[in-house]
A and B are shown apart, each in its own frame.
Chain A
Amino acid sequence: MRRLATTLLSLAAFLVAWKLLTVVTGTPDYILPAPEVVAERALRAIGSGLLWEHTAVTISEILLGLAVGATSAVAVGTALGKSVVIERVLSPYIVAAQSVPILALAPLLDIWFGGGLLARVLICALIVFFPIAIATMVGIRAADPLLREMFRSLGATPGQITARLEIPSALPVLFGGLRVGVTLAVIGAVVAEWAGASSGLGVLINIADQGLFDTPLMFVALATLAVIGIGLHGLVVSIERRVVATS
């Protein structure tokens, strides 16, 4: 209850500061709209169905991108964590792929994969991949060697050690990677849309900014993306609380 109160209080403070900024600087709504202007625009966009039409597309890209990206990242991260040889072979490519800005790669991927939902899911998955894979690798290696020896002394098979020691040991770090990955998925979906999509919140930002000169609508799209990110992050945190033992 106290957490909710602090959140609401800080949100109210943020809105007041925002409003004060627009009043003090006298910026017009088409440059920096005041919060109530954005709120009014949001209500209109919700009522007309415009906002949901684009939000649904982006949410599906995010969820599918996370599904593909996170599962492949955990698998690759586990392999990297367990085998130093695999790490040495694969990590230059993984790091190189991560270092190339996705903004530059995305249009290429969009064309190679036919420019539909598949392409955007892959771009999103690619952005999400790295932090989760590295977190998994570090987490797998974080398994306490003293515990590992204890498991071995009990005759545990390698499969048992992975399932009952390595993966549970990895969970705290893994969830850290998931928190980062989930917020990156939102960015990934928008980047993917900017590479080649006709609907989605990223597209809505473009249309509002470049086509309609409707800055309040652009802010509505941005705020919606923020809400999605916050929601997903909170979901990961609540799952983490249930799954990861606080020890």
Chain B
Amino acid sequence: MSPRRLLLPLIALVLVLPGCLPSSSVSEPLRAVKLLLGFRPDVQFAPFYLAQEAGYFAEAGLEVTIEHSADVLVLVADGRADFGVADATDVMIARTSGIPVKYISTLYDRFPVALIGPAGTVPSDPAELAGLRIGTPGEFGSSWHALLALLEAGGLTRDDVTIRAYPQFNQVEGLLNGDVDLITGFRSNEPLRLEAQGMSVDLLTIDEVAPLPGPGLIAGDELLSSDPALATAFATATLRAQQAIAADPQVGLDAAIAAAPAIGEDRATALAVLRATVELWSQDGTIDSAVWTSGYETMRRLGFIDGSVPVDEMIDREVVRAS
């Protein structure tokens, strides 16, 4: 028989065969979900990269697309993205302004922002901040909230210190130049960068002194009322990834580099940052009422919110509870 004659039956077989085999993978199509992260890819977002790559999202029935934006809260509220990562204090402000978004799961148990300065010069008592020069991105964000909360705990206001704005988030250079005495920064990030530049640093953290809730997952009101199970699935898969990385940070680093190769340019530092970040993470995603309540009151005293929207409207505890 000539090869030509076999061709048509062969093609037919190839097309039909897969349909006859028993399906080994998930039979339902994955639900498309959009996650918004801030600014640009960073090793601290490793849980999401890992959850997508290792299939935790797929096993939860989700196909997650990650995008980066500076307007996470507003876009998630409007439904243009399904989930986002945001600071709890920003959620408080947004919710008070009527933006329909809720905090659904805690990612960071320890507040990631701290005051950083050269070793030996950083006060442990916030009252001693008086008269110092402090560098911070600007009058927005959790860094600003944390700074003012810290000052308040020391009996000070912003007028008791000199604040220098670094809108490009390059306050590290100001510290290295000696233009400022202290800077606000991410506990697991800036100190490592400074050490790499030859400066040993000390930290002044807020957890004991002026507690505020840390960053977490957010979702819009509409999604939470129409499909809360989706939120639970997403939060659970994220937590799984966090736990996997806590057990073996290398896994997270590899997933992050696979998703964003630029992260791999300095593997050693990226791994160190990831290890330090893991220390700050929440173990189970639950939302701490005590920290939220006292944080809410602090934000109110500082004038960031007016208290017209109660704290319970800002949180959805059911998402994590259902998991």
Give the interface of A toward B (CB within 8 A).
27-28, 30-31, 107, 111, 115, 193-198, 203, 206-207, 209-215
Do the beta carbons of A213 and B90 come within 8 Å of each other?
yes
Per-position 1/0 for B97-132, Cβ under 8 A of A = 111000000000000000000000000000000000
Do the beta carbons of B73 and A111 come within 8 Å of each other?
no
CA distance A228 to B71 in the complex (A): 27
A111 CB contacts on chain B under 8 angstroms: 173-174, 177, 179
Interface residues in B, total, Cβ within 8 A = 28
Q: Which 9 A-B pairs have the closest CB atoms?
A: A211-B140, A198-B165, A210-B140, A213-B94, A107-B168, A194-B167, A30-B99, A31-B78, A207-B139
From the candidates A30, A194, A195, A203, name the one contacting B77 in the complex (CB within 8 A). A30
Most A CB within 10 A of own CB, among B70, B73, B138: B138
From the candidates A28, A194, A209, A211, name the one contacting B78 in the complex (CB within 8 A). A28
CA distance A103 to B99 in the complex (A): 31
Chain A: minimal CB distance from B179 (Å): 7
Query: Which B26-78 residues have C-beta < 8 A from chain A?
Result: 70-71, 73-74, 77-78
Do the beta carbons of A197 and B165 come within 8 Å of each other?
yes
A194 CB contacts on chain B under 8 angstroms: 167-168
Do the beta carbons of B93 and A211 come within 8 Å of each other?
yes
- Known contacts being A28-B78, A195-B168, is A207 close to B138, with CB within 8 Å? yes
Residue B166 CB within 8 A of the other chain:
yes
- Name the residue of chain B whose CB is nearest to the CB of A212: B93
Residue B141 CB within 8 A of the other chain:
yes
Chain B: minimal CB distance from A222 (Å): 15
Do the beta carbons of B97 and A214 come within 8 Å of each other?
yes
Residue B170 CB within 8 A of the other chain:
yes
Do the beta carbons of B168 and A31 come within 8 Å of each other?
no
Do the beta carbons of B99 and A210 come within 8 Å of each other?
no
CA distance A214 to B179 in the complex (A): 32
Do the beta carbons of B139 and A115 come within 8 Å of each other?
no
A214 CB contacts on chain B under 8 angstroms: 97
A27 CB contacts on chain B under 8 angstroms: 78
Contacts A107-B168, A194-B168 given; 8 further ones with Cβ under 8 A?
A30-B97, A31-B78, A193-B167, A198-B139, A198-B165, A210-B70, A210-B141, A211-B93
B99 CB contacts on chain A under 8 angstroms: 30, 213
- Name the residue of chain B whose CB is nearest to the CB of A214: B97
Residue B144 CB within 8 A of the other chain:
yes
CA distance A20 to B271 in the complex (A): 52
- Known contacts being A31-B74, A31-B78, is A206 close to B140, with CB within 8 Å? yes
Do the beta carbons of A30 and B98 come within 8 Å of each other?
yes
A31 CB contacts on chain B under 8 angstroms: 74, 78
Do the beta carbons of B141 and A203 come within 8 Å of each other?
no
B144 CB contacts on chain A under 8 angstroms: 211
Do the beta carbons of B140 and A212 come within 8 Å of each other?
yes
A28 CB contacts on chain B under 8 angstroms: 77-78
Do the beta carbons of B138 and A198 come within 8 Å of each other?
yes
Do the beta carbons of B93 and A213 come within 8 Å of each other?
yes
Chain B: minimal CB distance from A198 (Å): 4
Do the beta carbons of B98 and A196 come within 8 Å of each other?
no
B153 CB contacts on chain A under 8 angstroms: none
Residue B164 CB within 8 A of the other chain:
yes
